[in-house]
Amino acid sequence: MAGWTDTHVHLDDSAFDPDRDAVVARAVAAGVTAMICAGTSVEGSRRAVSLAERHPQVFAAVGVHPQQAALLTDAAVRELAVLARHPRVVAIGETGLDYARGRGDAIVQQRAFAAQARLARETGLPLVVHNREASEDVERILDNEEVCAVVMHCFNGSPDLAARWARAGWMISVAGPLTFPKADVLREAARRVPLDRLLVETDAPYLSPVPVRGRRCEPGFVVHTARMLAGLRHMSDEALASVLADNAARVFPRGLTQGRTAAL
Ligand code: NI
């Protein structure tokens, strides 16, 4: 069986300081053959790269989170550009827009998002996008910057939004909320997204899926979300794992193909 890829995890988070190596080992034991550690700051992106150097199953995404957008100076963009050349870096992000706390810094967020979108285009890497209550502006900036590959991380929108973004060629990555009792709209979206547009992730240490909800999330828990997705799509775990491994290898071309080979 192809291994699972957790396409978005914050392994560098201090929540994992006590047992990070054991967390990675448990994920591997659960069948996770690749994990993409998403940076949320320049410093965090550096930590992600060094984790990717230490663990063959870990890859890095480098970026600055929208809630830290003010930190993305021109010098920080240049630092991300240098990090992006590292062979274990497979994406730019986590970036995006987050208006959940209001639009007070919307201009700053949009500037930081656009700069990282340009970096994705220039490096040829996919862009990992966080979107909260900002779908219109997210679309506008992605269209303007002509980003080639986009991963909508922790998708939580409607079936129509998922379908529109899938038609745009963007990937829909679903996380633990897919398993939550009240998530019928999200489950319907996950049912309707074309199979070749789907990915799974944990966003650990956040958003543990049922049946481990409430605990610190870790990348091995992606199997719970993946199994629910397989059920929604009337597929065996094996068949879904194979599709998702192909999707991940296509979207994250650098290195993840190796992960796939290693799993076979
Ligand atoms: Ni995240």
Question: Cα(38) to centroid of ligand 1, in Å?
Answer: 7
Provide the whole-model pTM: 0.95
For residue 184, pLDDT beyond 50 = yes
The two structure tokens encoding residue 189 = 């979206």
* pLDDT digit string, tens, across residues 7-38: 999 999 999 999 999 999 999 999 999 999 99
Question: Cα(9) to centroid of ligand 1, in Å?
Answer: 6
For residue 223, pLDDT beyond 70 = yes
In three state form, how does the secondary structure of 189-258 look? HHHHCCHHHEEECCCCCCCCCCCCCCCCCCHHHHHHHHHHHHHHCCCCHHHHHHHHHHHHHHHCHHHHHH
For residue 262, pLDDT beyond 90 = no
Question: Cα(237) to centroid of ligand 1, in Å?
Answer: 25
For 142, the 3-state DSSP assignment is helix
More confident residue, 146 or 13: 13
Question: Cα(205) to centroid of ligand 1, in Å?
Answer: 9
Question: Cα(250) to centroid of ligand 1, in Å?
Answer: 21
What band does 148 get if pLDDT is binned at 50, 70 and 90? confident
Question: Cα(74) to centroid of ligand 1, in Å?
Answer: 23
Burial annotation 152-172 (CB, 10 A radius, 16+ → b, else e): bbbbbbebebbbebbeeebbb
How many domains does one find in the chain? 1
For residue 219, pLDDT beyond 80 = yes
What is the rounded CA–CA span in Å between residue 38 and residue 44? 8
The two structure tokens encoding residue 242 = 């194979």
* pLDDT digit string, tens, across residues 91-136: 999 999 999 999 999 999 999 999 999 999 999 999 999 999 999 9
What band does 263 get if pLDDT is binned at 50, 70 and 90? very low
The two structure tokens encoding residue 79 = 């630092």
Question: Cα(259) to centroid of ligand 1, in Å?
Answer: 22
Please report where in the chains the tokens 């480098």 appear, as a residue.
62
Instruction: Find the mean pLDDT for residues 156-176.
Output: 97
CATH number for the domain harbouring residue 235:
3.20.20.140
Question: Cα(193) to centroid of ligand 1, in Å?
Answer: 21
Tell me the residue range of the domain where 38 lies.
4-263
